[in-house]
Amino acid sequence: MKSLAELYKEYRPMIFRYLYRCTGSHDLAEELTQETFYQAVLSIAGFRGESGVSTWLYRIARNVCSKNVRKANHLLLADPAWCDTAAATDGDPEEALCGAELAGQVERALSLLPEDYRSAILMREVENLSYDEIGAALGKSPQAARVILFRAKKRFREIYCTLEKGGLRERE
């Protein structure tokens, strides 16, 4: 296994992105990323190598995020600033505004999903993890991960469409 410093350097960006999308807060994601790696150091002896290091770290990050959400008793709505829409639209302000609104709607819809659903979508669509890796991170089988992802996407579409129609002002 690589040194802890090498693991941190390699996996920190991936874990940070995941936590940022879960929390919507840069500062909180930084704090939770540090906590994730701290927990990894504490539990390194328990890592049996049955799954990949990234899967193990995702599971720790998910648990750290869950603990934080329970403690805070609410989810933050994400700031769509992570999406540089101005650059993606060649500087057209109208397109940039539409892109920012779309990113905001996507982030709001994600924030309204149950935790397992949100995690599954982020792991698959953002981090391109396999069903095996998603299942391991969620503590489920790969088949269960497929089902969770299917249901998550279905629920995401429902929430997104409701938001588009002007509904769902607060967390369901």
Provide the pLDDT for residue 89. Answer: 45
> In the structure, what pLDDT confidence band is assigned to residue 11 with cuts at 50, 70 and 90?
very high
Fold of 4-72: Rna Polymerase Sigma Factor; Chain: A (1.10.1740)
∠ CA 41-46-51, rounded to 5°: 100
CA distance 32 to 149: 24
- 123: enclosing H helix or E strand: none
Fold of 85-164: Arc Repressor Mutant, subunit A (1.10.10)
Other C-beta atoms within 10 Å of 132: how many? 14
> Whose CA is closest to 24, among 77, 72, 102?
77
For the stretch 144-153, pLDDT in tens is 999 999 999 9
For the stretch 48-107, pLDDT in tens is 878 888 888 999 998 898 887 666 533 333 333 433 443 444 555 555 545 566 677 788
- Average pLDDT in the 146-161 region? 91
Q: Residues for the chain: how many in total?
A: 172
Other C-beta atoms within 10 Å of 100: how many? 17
Provide the pLDDT for residue 44. Answer: 84
Q: Same fold for the domain at 4-72 and the one at 85-164?
A: no
Domain positions in the chain are 4-72, 85-164
